[in-house]
């Protein structure tokens, strides 16, 4: 079964909109695990507009499933990850002012930088993953960095699926096959939803984990968080 890691950034956004601690991020994370999710993902950004750096420290104390911290490996982020020691760190090349992640790494251009950062995390027994487009050259470049996993950036698949083009999954199928051949685990995320997740799962081999936040939280407004988590789990079997 492909694991479901729930990104709780949007819960933090709601909390921050009023100040205080409602909704309580740690309580929501614990509930999500109780509903059956196999992981919790956060993506702290330098301006802390949703996840705060202290949230990472607080969540480390209570998360009992896989804990995944995503972000651009600036020094402040690297220091946080080394302090918190999550299960996995996912390196994302997002700009400081980006609303959300919008591109994978150029693993050829940034090869030496990625090798250095990944070696640091691996030396501290933190599993590494890097965010990449479904481009075979970028997959080959990722393998050269020493990363243990990749996370396929799935926006193009979601856009194609939304207009009825199921062939949009084909680059991801080929990218996953190559990554597996090169010894890397395969994660995926970005714009995956209840509508498109099952088809992606059925057509992308060796998919270990998906990280889903915006769609899952939005769907939960109508259907309930417990119900939605289990709907995803059923589609990922």
Q: Which residues are catalytic?
A: 43, 70, 190
Place of tokens 């081999």: 205
- Are 128 and 91 contacting, i.e. CB atoms less than 8 angstroms apart? yes
Q: How far apart are CA 164 and CA 135, in angstroms?
A: 22
Q: How far apart are CA 236 and CA 34, in angstroms?
A: 17
């Amino acid at each position: 079964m492909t694991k479901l890691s729930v990104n709780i950034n949007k819960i933090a956004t709601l909390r921050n909109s009023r100040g205080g601690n409602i909704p309580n991020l740690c309580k929501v994370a614990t509930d999500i695990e109780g509903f059956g999710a196999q992981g919790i993902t956060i993506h702290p950004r330098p301006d802390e507009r949703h996840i705060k750096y202290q949230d990472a420290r607080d969540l480390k104390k209570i998360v009992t499933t896989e804990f995944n911290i995503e972000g651009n490996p600036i020094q402040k982020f690297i220091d946080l990850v080394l302090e918190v020691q999550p299960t996995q760190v996912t390196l994302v090349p997002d700009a400081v002012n980006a609303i959300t992640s919008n591109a994978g790494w150029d693993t050829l251009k940034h090869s030496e930088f990625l090798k250095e950062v990944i070696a640091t995390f691996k030396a501290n027994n933190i599993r590494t993953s890097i965010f990449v487009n479904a481009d075979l050259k970028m997959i080959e470049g990722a393998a050269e960095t020493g990363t243990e996993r990749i996370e396929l950036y799935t926006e193009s698949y979601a856009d194609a699926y939304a207009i009825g083009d199921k062939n949009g999954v084909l680059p991801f199928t080929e990218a996953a096959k190559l990554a597996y051949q090169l010894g890397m685990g395969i994660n995926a995320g970005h714009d995956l939803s209840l509508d498109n997740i099952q088809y992606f799962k059925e057509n992308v081999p060796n998919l270990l984990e998906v990280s889903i936040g915006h769609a899952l939280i939005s769907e939960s407004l109508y259907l309930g968080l417990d119900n939605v988590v289990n709907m995803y789990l059923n589609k990922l079997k």
